[in-house]
Amino acid sequence: MRARRLVAALVAVSALVASCSSSNAPAPVAEWGPDLADKVTIDGVYGHLLKLQEIADANGGNRADGSPGYQASVDYVAQQLRDKGFDVETPEFERLSGSQGGRPVLTVAGRNFRVEQASLMITTPRGGLKAITLRPRRPAGCSAADYGNVSVAEAIAVVDDTGCSIVDKQRIAAEEGAVGLLVVSQATPSRPVGAPPTLFTPGYYNDLKVPVGIIDPAADAAVRRTDSAVTLVLDKKPVMTTSRNVIAQTKTGDTKNVVFVGAHLDSVQSGAGINDNGSGVATVLETALQLGGEPGTANAVRFAFWGAEEVSMDGSKKYLRSLSKEQIDDIALYLNFDMLGSPNAGYFTDDGDQSTQTGDFAPAPDGSAGIERTLAGRLLLDGVRPADIPLQRVTDYAPFLAAGIPVGGLTTGSSQIKTPVQARLWGGRDGVAFDPNYHTRLDNIDNVDRDALGIMASSAAFAVGTYAQSIDGVNGVPAREQRDRLVP
């Protein structure tokens, strides 16, 4: 079955290219996808990686958001794009970088209990929030049905840490009329060990609208023993950091059908981030430079280099939130490239048709499956048999998914362990992570697989060129008049 799907993907890509090569298309630009793929070479991509390593070496060994190394990375990428004739912007955004002051506490029947402030952007009123505590009929509090006929209006809702994210728990509680929320958990945002993986999603605090605290079972036991009001004090103040994205768009092409391409520019603080995500940055940058600022493609192409992905995904989130609904509707699709040179590489496409998706995940926007087929087909043409990797909520395409924009992308894997079957398929070592250096100081220029990066960069460029030429065909995405996107 898997082999048949891969063959179908190859045929589908060929059909798309053929449909774009009809006699109605100008002959010199009949095959933008293959042409751009040929121009994006490993030597060009690797040159950018060398520069990013040089920047990290000169700035404390990393390019983390908010650091001098990150600012130098922004300046390098922006100048390269300007030199090729792009309109380039480096819009600023603010992100949370910590908190200061305050003494969060939960007072129950005159006794104080420890509480961790989860709502880092939201504090309680002076003197604290005084209210009774009530619980949904089902303790997760992930839906209105969990509350049933229990009214929590003007109360502090108390839920457990299972079933959904803290954002969803807070949203439902607020919709039910609660003025605050307590989540019972041994894990906390500052020490999330043992927390369900969906509880503290990246940047969750940006989406909390009422005071939210985390309490342990001892505090919960005290809350259960009283019917009187408790006092919740969450008074730590947020500390904000200003960061920048890099946004560049071609001066030609239909701006009502924007092909959007992105990669996160920041590293973690522990290393230079050359695979994660210098490899994606170098690929997207070299693709942009080879395309040029005035390529004459049918559709405009916008390139983004995101800040703060490793911290909170605020770069991509806040950029998308800065757009109007009409501007969001103008985005035809989004392509994301992250970690394309893992030393124990796999060859993964983002799972647009959701054939490997598990758990509670909304359907991918229409067109995502076609993007997967385009990328998988190109990898097959390069002699690599691809696999798909489930879509996630913790990377830069997540805000685009939430807005209803078709997404797709490539990765060679991170901390996941390569299986014996994958080792037979792609080579490398089974029982070892695709990138054993993930988020460490060893994620440097010496630990990048040039062969894998060359294949993935060429495939990424193919997809960019293909959709820049046409969003129609068997692997196309909805036309402009068919889009009704959500504003995140």
The catalytic site residues sit at: 309
Half-sphere exposure of residue 249, counting CA atoms within 13 Å on the CB side?
A: 16
- Sole residue written with tokens 């894997």: 413
Measured between its terminal Cα atoms, the distance across the chain in Å is 37
Report d(CA 131, CA 272) in Å as an integer.
Answer: 48
Cβ-in-10-Å burial (0-12, 13-18, 19+) of 474 comes to middle
Burial of 405 (0-12, 13-18, 19+ CB in 10 A): buried
3-state DSSP: the chain helix, strand, coil percent, rounded to 5? 35, 20, 45
Q: CA–CA distance from 478 to each of 256, 333, 361, 370, 373 (Å)?
A: 12, 9, 21, 11, 16
CA–CA distance, 362 with 350 (Å, rounded to integer): 15
Residues 233 and 202 sit within 8 Å (Cβ to Cβ):
no
The CA distance from 352 to 365, in Å, is: 8
